[in-house]
A and B are shown apart, each in its own frame.
Chain A
């Protein structure tokens, strides 16, 4: 029975933050910071012929005006991923071409925002407006080339063909899928479109910079990847790595939207040039237009099965729109396959491939689910379509064909995230239980396929299964340091990035469990490139599994060190000495941890006990989930009301059940947003119509009233105390589950997200016309 793991504990920081203590990036900006504001492109594609900054520079209060002429031309990627990044180096801090509306043209640093904005209006820019590519289905081999620059390149082959507007490409296959499909009793062929989705984290992107008294550049950034920020800044500015410190304070939400670098380049450049502290705070419009959103994709999918309901072949071709820059082009693309198709591991053959194309849209980037939610929508919708054609119950079909504990899929070995994968058996997979339990909780047997209510509405149920990962094997490394203080408390230093998901809290619980001490005695500090050891950052669902394992190893080591020093103090053999969290004991002799720690600081055998360990995964054990929705359709308006959403999740041990639950609930609502409410919409001129929160709508608390999240009793042997990660799995199922339930309700199959009332009503009316 664990004492501190699998226990609900309030977060270590929630109360202080709710009470108003400063903690976020802008709260910690130097009070004398220059305000940096950016002139952004009004054109989707243009060449900058000339920028006249004279008037702007002369304005009283303006300290610095930067254009592409002020930077050495160094291609880079903004992607916060492990080095060398599986990303094209296709971006310059400031360039003489702009490739989307909102792309950076020039930056001004002034004493205050008003002056900086005034200076922006005084900049005179001559553009040569170029014809943009605004349709991702027309981007491939378009005569318009978005990235003709000679300096851009890939670090290793990722299928980068900029002359064809291809940022990345990928293809894999197992077996011979064309042959398999010919042998199938039933084959379906369908296309699905998923839309771009914006993160809408409540805190807009922000960063600030200062020079400290050691003459080093110190950056505070709202980032998910502080170590990648440091490295990329060093490369892009050719500034020594040792002279840069990156601190990640509290973050007001990321969800992948802060995995890429954003304002750090400009504040660093301004501060290095002026010697003065500077800060940048993105407006919400800039967050929409000038950061990142989810890759919209088109899936062309063929599934082949036998009459008895056995799925035999999967053939999928995908085009993905990475927008103006290709930061996460390849990796998101690959996850659309690698974290979907292993679910159906009993097929004879699988083929998955396609291209990621450039367009003059806002760049796409990492966003929770990271390709898996897009792929899940296509696959789980296609499975239901196949089931209908086969005349097989959708739950029976999944039970028959889905992956189970102890099994594997060849896809694991073939597909990693940007590189080849890692073979693994499912040492923990409770998907069967998740499906069975979810079926019970939603009341599937009574409600499938549909019921008409007294007032003419139609209620139905639909479902989908999903998987994700736990970090990237052999690439994601996390580490931790624990030091023992006098009075017997610990500092736990981790690189792992708390972005609101609760990692500071759960990592403390893991350390506490191993040490046997109350988590109150473990003070955590995270994500400071000087003071904490390395961690790749909060992405790829790596924190609980990778960083958690690092913390456990470190705590185990510290335990051993305490026993060793305690034995010395007691004069007993280490093999006969034990530590129960309070005291070190041996054959009746005892010294408390507090006493020992004071002794180690002040009296005898003085030394500072410090343990540091690292962890790199040798596999990425997937969390699994079955999602079930009950909805009600109003056939007069097309409006869908969500009556209930049931999620049964296998993430191994939940380190903190309350925090794990909310990770799933929060993910579900974001998935529901993508399924029904959210859409990134461009005008015909290439500008975002949805560039503010009036036009881009995320679900409110009225849209979701009932959610039931349960966790399967599961244990992943390779995870810390049996845990797998849980950060992303919650988001994947809603689009397919809702599309499937809608079809069950009114026979309208929506194959292009989002599922809006208009599409539903027009679909219903179209059917009536046909009848």
Chain B
């Protein structure tokens, strides 16, 4: 069946199976920043923005995304480059595998929360796991990013 999704500003028509998930549809169409970590919604590595909200793309049926907007890091390069600068300064990027999904969630958080406290930042990002960095370097980078107008 066909599903029409606006991906990073471009309307795309995908031919999908009824039980196909957004993660595979996007990744198979060449969007390699969208990747699989766990198969059980437990890790956050597959996060993309659906109408600006972070969702686990491994668990969202592609046919349901019909008529919606999807944002991946390829769609907001300036913003991601900025987040990357802060991560790089802290050495928080490490293996990088979780970074695109992390950047999208951080970007969504900046839009959704006003002046979040440390606890609120952690609560928003709690479902986005990182095994390399130990989180605190990411937190330092995120705090610095949130300071930018």
In the complex, A621 has a CB within 8 A of chain B: no
Tally B residues with Cβ within 8 Å of A: 53
Chain B, interface SS category: loop
Across-interface contacts of B45 in A (CB, < 8 A): 202
Asked if A500 contacts B96 (CB within 8 A), the reply is yes
B95 touches A20 (CB 8 A): no
Chain A residues with Cβ below 8 Å from B126 are: 700-702
Assembled-state Cα–Cα distance A202/B102 (Å) = 12
Mark A residues whose CB is within 8 Å of B: 8, 10-11, 13-15, 17-20, 22-24, 26-27, 199-204, 250-253, 255, 281, 283-285, 499-502, 656, 658-662, 665-670, 692-694, 698-702, 704-707
Q: How far is the CB of A498 from chain B (nearest CB, A)?
A: 9
Among A19, A659, A702, max chain B CB count under 10 A is at A19
Contact, CB under 8 Å: B134 / A704: yes
Q: Are B32 and A27 neighbours in the complex by a CB distance under 8 Å?
A: yes
- Once A499-B95, A692-B39 are accepted as A-B contacts, the answer to whether A19 and B139 lie under 8 Å apart by CB is no
Q: Establish whether residues B122 and A500, one from each chain, have CB atoms under 8 Å apart when the complex forms.
A: no
B91 touches A500 (CB 8 A): no
The smallest beta-carbon distance between B85 and chain A, in angstroms, is 7
A700 touches B129 (CB 8 A): yes
Among residues of A, the one whose C-beta sits closest to the C-beta of B77 is A19
Asked if A204 and B73 make an inter-chain contact with CB atoms under 8 angstroms apart, the answer reads: no
Whether the Cβ atoms of A698 and B129 lie closer than 8 Å is yes
Minimum C-beta distance from A291 to chain B (A): 14
Identify which of residues 55-87 in chain B touch chain A, using a CB-to-CB cut-off of 8 Å: 72-74, 77, 80-81, 83-85, 87
Instruction: Give the docked Cα–Cα distance between A668 and B134 (Å).
Output: 7
Choose one: B35, B118, B133; the contact of A705 (CB below 8 Å): B118
In the complex, residue of chain B having the shortest beta-carbon distance to the beta carbon of A706? B136
Cα–Cα distance between A11 and B93 once the two chains are bound (Å): 8
Look across to chain A and name the residue whose beta carbon is closest to the beta carbon of B76. Answer: A19
Among A666, A706, A707, the one with the most B-chain Cβ atoms within 10 Å of its Cβ is A666
Point out which of A18, A667, A670, A705 has the most chain B C-beta atoms below 10 A from its C-beta: A18
Bound-complex Cα distance A670 to B132 (A): 8
A548 to B16, CA, bound (A): 49
Say yes or no for B38: interface residue by CB 8 A criterion: yes
With A18-B99, A202-B95, A698-B131 as given contacts, are A662 and B81 in contact (CB-CB < 8 Å)? no
- Residue of chain A at shortest CB distance from B88: A10
Instruction: Tell me whether B115 is interfacial, beta carbon within 8 Å.
Output: no
Q: Which of B42, B95, B135, B137 contacts A693 (CB 8 A)?
A: B42
In the complex, B23 has a CB within 8 A of chain A = no
Contacts of B85 in A (CB 8 A): 10, 15
| A661 to B, closest residue via Cβ | B91
Residues from chain A with a CB closer than 8 A to the CB of B138 are 701
From residue 98 to 149 of chain B, which have CB atoms closer than 8 A to chain A? 98-100, 103, 118, 122-123, 125-127, 129-139
**A692 surroundings in chain B (CB, below 8 A):** 38-40, 42
Verify B39–A17 contact, CB threshold 8 A.
no
- Are B84 and A15 touching (Cβ within 8 A)? yes
Decide yes or no whether B51 CB sits under 8 A from chain A.
no
The answer, among A199, A500, A698, A705, for a CB contact under 8 Å with B94, is A500
- A656 and B93 CA atoms in complex are apart in Å by 14
Once A658-B91, A665-B134 are accepted as A-B contacts, the answer to whether A17 and B37 lie under 8 Å apart by CB is no
Given contacts A252-B96, A692-B38, contact A662 B133 (CB under 8 A): yes
Q: How far is the CA of A707 from the CA of B139 in the complex (A)?
A: 11
B91 and A659 form a contact (CB under 8 A)? yes
Known contacts: A15-B81, A19-B77, A665-B133. The answer to whether A284 contacts B93 by CB under 8 A is no
